[in-house]
Amino acid sequence: MVTNIRLFHAKKMHTTSRVLPVPMTWLVFTLLLSSVAAAAETVKVITTPVFAQIPRFQSSKDFQVLVRVEAPPAAQQQRRVPIDLAVVLDVGTGPVRLDAVKKAVKFIIRQIHDDDRVAVVGPSSNSRLVTGFLSTRDARRDAENSVDELEPRGEFTSGAGAGLEEAIKILRELPATESRSSRARARFIILVTDAATTEASNRFSKLPREDLPPVHTLGLGAAYDPRALLYIASESQGTYSFVDDDDTDGITGAIAVCLSGLKDVVAVGTRVRVEAPLGITIERIDSGGYMTSPVTRDEKASGEVAVGVLYAGEVKSFIVHLSVPALPSTTTAMTSLDGGCDKQQLLTTSFIGHYTTSDEEDAAGAAPASPSPTVTQAILYVQRPPPEAMDGTLQRVPVPVVMNHIARFDLLEMVTTFVNKEIGRLTSSNTVEVAAKLRIQWEQFVQARQFWSGLDLGVLDVEVNRMVSILEEPAGRGRTRSGSSSTAYMLSWLSSYQMQRPTAMGSPGSVAAAFVTVNMQLMLQQATIVTTGAPLCVDGGCPACECRCEEERCVQPLPPPVLVPSGRGDDTFRVNPVYPQDVLFNAINQAMKHMYLALVQASNLTRCDAAAGLEVLPA
């Protein structure tokens, strides 16, 4: 019997707003971000070819095009998609305490928005359904009190598989749209377990796939099977994270890594469609863990990538491989090229999905999703210069950003193959041997790409060597049974790169830097406050007793400094350890990008992209 079912529906909270002092530089930064957010309310589609030019009489059997989908930054409350979230708990009395899991569930309850709905399927044999609260503050308190009553998994409990079935049933019984509008809702499941086995994945595999919500799995400790959790996540387009035995306090942070995206959904039912003109064929699409479906399989003229849900501020990248023929000598600029500019159209990319903009707001302030999908398009042209124009000015250097994404997908394929072949036979006696094989494969990977112009493998090198070092660790930590840190780390890394989303790889501070968003950084700060119990709202005349994170969703009034004295007795500084070291600089780069774009647009300037031509930003 599935157990401890609780449903919480949050409504409007009436609280007193507090104004906290902030530095002028932080205020300017916030205004710049707000300017960018106002100018980027919809999703952007950007296509970049590996070369901006192809000689007219030269063919290319594998011409790569980078397709990027950029979601707008942090969504305003009235423009986000409300969510229905089911949290499945399958936790026993082992080294990972249920108390830490309860704290993480309470964190979810405090973080959800007023129009979200949350159900909790608990681990014991008792069940109760709680609905209908008069106010959000009381609702959250009552919900947290109910969570405190959860008991650990009993001896005869069915486990994670049964909990998933019940969670899916609960979500399917809820209305798909708001009762007062046509606004669609996004549905998710978070599975937290310390004992999932192949039985759970086998049971999950028998569930119908239509309308299956993404399942984000979180493994605790070392007694579960990480392959079972990765299978469940991959089949539903979710993610797999894990927390080590020695980081129980990191459970809330690992939840925060996932929740930071779920609570700021900007589009649902999204897909990326690519279409090639007559004569050009689409050979394949590198999409990681996202499903691709060719529309015209025989002619290879088009294809789609099912992205599904899109979070605020995240970017999805895909590589489209084209076969581009040489142009016959009889071709004229007017028939096959673009208006005498020696350009040829290679690809039309469309982003299709339901998302909201300020134009759709109704009188009540809500923003219902479009009744029909919204389409955003980008058309890609490349230069096809004739022989007489080839005077040495032809650009033969590939675009670095495209090369780096090609390498990323190549590494994903390499690690996937390695895991399928080597991890299944991992034992306590051959971990060093397996680590040596991975190191050799990585060295061969780097050597094969040593002459790739503009390629930067620095971050990937750190991540692969981290895998090697975990494999080489003694059995005390890198233990080799089914729940080993080495297997879990590699599978969580795979999940992150397949779905292009951050996952907690052993701890909330260990995530792939490429997929971190500003929202995740802020959420981690709040999770840290919850875990450490640090007092809040102590500045600006706000008494700590009126604002505690146990009762309200708060963050520190001021951000911690990025640089602090090094302690060497001189004028040198070091990065503040309160920030996750492997994601901080990526966040800074993203912030600088937003500031730069805001200044460019405010000045009504034109950006020049050597690979994709000129782009004039709207006034």
pLDDT tens figures, 139-165: 777 788 888 888 777 655 566 888 888
User: Of 164-173, 320-329, 381-390, 528-537, which range is least confident?
Assistant: 528-537
Bigger pLDDT: 293 vs 338: 293
Q: What angle do CA 56, 59, 62 make, to 5 degrees?
A: 135
pTM over 0.75: yes
pLDDT tier, 177 (very low <50, low <70, confident <90, very high otherwise): low
Q: When comparing pLDDT for 455 and 206, which is higher?
A: 455
pLDDT of residue 169: 87
Most confident of 109-113, 341-345, 379-383, 425-429: 379-383
Q: Which carries the bigger pLDDT value, residue 253 or residue 358?
A: 253
Residue 396, pLDDT score: 75
Confidence label for 3 from pLDDT (cuts 50, 70 and 90): very low
CB 219 within 8 A of CB 240: yes
pLDDT of residue 338 exceeding 60, the answer is no
pLDDT at 426 over 90: no
How far apart, in whole angstroms, are the C-alpha atoms of residue 411 and residue 434?
17
Model confidence at 333, pLDDT cuts 50, 70, 90, reads very low
Instruction: Tell me the C-alpha distance between 422 and 444, whole Å.
Output: 17
Compute the half-sphere exposure of residue 359: CA atoms within 13 Å on the CB side of its CA: 6
Q: Using the predicted structure, report yes or no on whether residue 192 has a pLDDT greater than 90.
A: yes
55's torsion region: left (phi>0), alpha (psi -120 to 50) or beta?
A: beta
Q: What is the pLDDT of residue 365?
A: 38
Sign of CA dihedral 415, 416, 417, 419: positive
- Tell me the pLDDT tens digit for each residue of 516-564: 888 888 888 888 877 766 543 333 333 344 444 444 445 556 677 777 7
pLDDT at residue 554, rounded to an integer = 56
- Segment holding 108, helix H or strand E: helix 98-111
Q: What pLDDT digit, counting tens, does each position of 567-590 carry?
A: 666 667 777 766 665 567 777 777
Whether residue 50 has pLDDT greater than 90: yes
More confident residue, 354 or 558: 354
Do the beta carbons of residue 248 and residue 100 sit within 8 Å?
A: yes
Q: Which residues contact 249 (CB under 8 A, 6 or more apart)?
A: 100, 531
Structure tokens belonging to residue 420: 């399928």
The average pLDDT across 364-374 equals: 52
Burial environment of residue 278 by CB neighbours within 10 A (0 to 12, 13 to 18, 19 or more): exposed
pLDDT for residue 132: 35
Among 13-22, 97-106, 250-259, 489-498, which is the least confidently predicted range? Answer: 13-22
Torsion 296-299-300-301 (CA) sign = negative
| Least reliable range by pLDDT among 12-21, 46-55, 451-460 | 12-21
